[in-house]
Amino acid sequence: MSDLNVEKIKSESRALRGTLHDSLEDPTTGAIRDADTVISKFHGIYQQDDRDVRGERREARLEPLYQFMLRVRVPGGRISREQWQALDRLAEEYGNGTLRLTSRQAVQYHGVSRESLRELVRGIDAVGMDSLAACGDVNRNVMCHVQPELGPVQAAALDWAERLSAHLTPSTSAWKEIWINGEKVELDDAEDDPVYGRAYLPRKFKIGIAVPPHNDIDAYSQDIGFVAIEQDHRLAGFNVIAGGGMGCSHGEPDTFPLLGRLIGFIEPEQLLVVAEAIVTTQRDFGDRTNRKHARFKYTLDDRSTEWLLEQIVQRSGVELKPARPFEFTQSSDRNGWAESTDGRWQYTVFVENGRLGPAQRAGLNRLIGHHAADLRLTPNQNLVLTGVAADQRSDVEQILQAAELDGSAGHSPLRKHAMACVAMPTCGLAMAEAERYLPDLVTRFEELAARHGIEDQPINIRMSGCPNGCSRPYLGEIGLVGRAPGRYNLYLGASFNGDRLNRLVLANADEAAILDAVDGWFGRFAAERGRAETFGNFAVRAGLVAATSHGSEVNSA
Residues forming the active site: 71, 140, 204, 206, 421, 427, 466, 470
Quote the least distance from Cβ 120 to ligand SF4, whole Å: 21
Instruction: Name the pairing type of β-strands 99-101 and 78-79.
Output: unpaired
Residue of 37, 108, 154, 239 that binds ligand SRM (CB under 6 A): 108
332 binds, among ligand SF4, ligand SRM, none (CB under 5 to 8 A by kind): none
Site mask, ligand SRM, residues 317-356, x = CB under 6 A? Answer: -------------------------------------x--
Distance CA 409, CA 490 (A): 30
Tell me if 479 contacts ligand SRM by CB under 6 A. Answer: no
Taking alpha carbons only, the member of 497, 501, 500 closest to residue 474 is 501
Quote the least distance from Cβ 429 to ligand SF4, whole Å: 4
Tell me if 423 contacts ligand SF4 by CB under 6 A. Answer: yes
Tell me if 470 contacts ligand SRM by CB under 6 A. Answer: yes
Quote the least distance from Cβ 226 to ligand SRM, whole Å: 14
Tell me if 463 contacts ligand SF4 by CB under 6 A. Answer: no
Quote the least distance from Cβ 451 to ligand SF4, whole Å: 30
Size of the site for ligand SF4 (CB under 6 A): 13
Tell me if 140 contacts ligand SRM by CB under 6 A. Answer: yes
Quote the least distance from Cβ 101 to ligand SF4, whole Å: 14
Distance CA 159, CA 174 (A): 27
Q: Which region, judged by CB under 6 A, interacts with ligand SRM, from 111-119, 343-351, 420-428, 508-516?
A: 420-428
Quote the least distance from Cβ 191 to ligand SRM, whole Å: 27
Instruction: Judge contact between 195 and 269, C-beta under 8 A.
Output: no
Nearer to ligand SF4, 148 or 479 (CB): 479
Query: DSSP label at 66?
Result: E
Half-sphere exposure of 185 (CA within 13 A, CB side): 20
At 93 the three-state DSSP class reads: helix
Q: 506: which strand partners?
A: 490
Q: Which region, judged by CB under 6 A, interacts with ligand SF4, from 270-278, 423-431, 516-524, 540-548?
A: 423-431
Nearer to ligand SRM, 220 or 265 (CB): 220
Residue of 331, 378, 468, 537 that binds ligand SF4 (CB under 6 A): 468
Distance CA 318, CA 372 (A): 42
| Binding to ligand SRM, residues 189-208 (CB under 6 A) | 204, 206
Distance CA 51, CA 30 (A): 15
Quote the least distance from Cβ 223 to ligand SRM, whole Å: 8
At 547 the three-state DSSP class reads: coil
Instruction: Name the pairing type of β-strands 45-49 and 418-420.
Output: unpaired
Quote the least distance from Cβ 557 to ligand SF4, whole Å: 20
At 56 the three-state DSSP class reads: helix
Tell me if 101 contacts ligand SF4 by CB under 6 A. Answer: no
Tell me if 468 contacts ligand SRM by CB under 6 A. Answer: yes
93-111 core/surface letters (b: 16 or more CB in 10 A; e: else): ebbbebbbbbbbbbbbbbb
Q: Which region, judged by CB under 6 A, interacts with ligand SRM, from 150-158, 326-334, 438-446, 464-472?
A: 464-472
37-67 core/surface letters (b: 16 or more CB in 10 A; e: else): bbbbbbbbbbbbbbbeeeeeeeeeeeebbeb
| Binding to ligand SF4, residues 258-317 (CB under 6 A) | none
Instruction: Name the pairing type of β-strands 461-464 and 478-484.
Output: parallel
* Strands of the 261-266 sheet, one edge to the other: 143-144, 207-210, 224-231, 234-242, 261-266
Q: Measured at the alpha carbon of residue 106, what is the angle toward residues 440 and 103, in degrees to the nearest 5?
A: 40
Residue of 1, 389, 429, 484 that binds ligand SF4 (CB under 6 A): 429
User: What element of type H or E holds 54?
Assistant: helix 54-59
Nearer to ligand SRM, 469 or 536 (CB): 469
Backbone phi, psi, residue 293, to 5°: -125, 25
Burial of 3 (0-12, 13-18, 19+ CB in 10 A): middle
Site mask, ligand SRM, residues 242-271, x = CB under 6 A? Answer: ---xxx------------------------
Residues found near ligand SF4 in the complex (CB under 6 A): 421-423, 427, 429-430, 434, 464-466, 468-470
Residues found near ligand SRM in the complex (CB under 6 A): 46, 48, 69, 71, 102-104, 106, 108, 140-141, 204, 206, 221, 245-247, 295, 354, 381, 421-422, 426-429, 468-472
